[in-house]
Homo-oligomer: A and B are copies of this chain.
Amino acid sequence: MILWGYWRSTAAWRVRIALNLKGLAADHRFRHLRQGEQRSAEALALNPQGLVPALVLGDGAVLTQSLAICEYLDEIRPDPPLLPRDPLARARIRAFAQAIAAEIHAVQNLRVLNRIKGLGQPQDVANAWAHDTIAEGLPACEALLHDQPGPFCFGSGPTLADIALVPQLYNARRFGVALDGMPRLLAAEAACQALPAFAAAAPDRQPDAE
């Protein structure tokens, strides 16, 4: 498998965690997002969305969208599971992951911040947009865990929810979001960071880190 990513891409980071948790090796290659490499003709031929990650399987099939890729990895390599078997529990974990991926991250990623600057707004307005999107979204995620004991988001082991959470908290700090009202999210992050699969996936551990 070849994973096309970028060291600081939240979405590629999710897939790195999932690969590590599953013990699956991939050849890691990189698109420099700030230099627009994800929109080169070669990149668009692989992923017409002009995004990372893209996972190229042995037979050449290309998978996109990080949560879909994580579920694919969970289905071909069920152990350890990223989702439990109970449909209600699966739905709550998927909802948590989507609340981050769609409602927070997709609204504050580089592409959206560039579009805000395209409206004639300065960088600090774009940064405030990212801050506000994260600061409004994360408390809802904290609330979604109100009946969950931890230490991970949903129980005693990492799931798709934790895979979405950890990179988003990194973004939160990057944009100066105060996290002191979110003890459950921070506890889940701490539980994750004790695992080598999460530690090895961190941006500053990647070969293309700057």
Query: Which residues from chain A sit less than 8 Å from chain B, CB to CB?
Result: 48-51, 57, 61, 63-65, 67-69, 71-72, 75-76, 87-88, 90-92, 94-95, 98-99, 101-103, 105-107, 112, 115-116, 119, 121, 125, 129, 132-133, 137, 139-140, 143-144
A144: chain B residues within 8 A (beta carbon):
48-49, 64
* A119-B119, A125-B119 known; A87+B91 contact, CB < 8 A: no
Q: A68, B140: Cβ atoms under 8 Å?
A: no
> Is A50 a contact of B140 with CB atoms below 8 Å?
yes
Q: Which residues does chain B contribute within 8 Å of A91, judged by CB atoms?
A: 63, 68-69, 71-72, 75
**Complex Cα distance A67/B61, Å?**
24
6 A-B pairs in the complex with CB atoms less than 8 angstroms apart:
A48-B139, A48-B143, A49-B103, A65-B102, A68-B98, A98-B102
CB distance from A103 to the nearest CB of B (A): 6
Question: What separation, in Å, do the CA atoms of A67 and B65 have in the docked complex?
Answer: 14
A133: B residues at CB distance < 8 A: 115
Looking at chain A's contact residues, the main secondary structure is helix
Contact A103 B140 (CB under 8 A): no
- Chain B residues, CB < 8 A from A139: 48
Q: Is the CB of B49 within 8 A of A99?
A: yes
Chain B residues whose C-beta falls within 8 Å of the C-beta of A48 in the assembled complex? 139-140, 143-144
Choice from B69, B90, B107 contacting A107 with Cβ under 8 Å = B107
Q: Is the CB of A65 within 8 A of B99?
A: yes
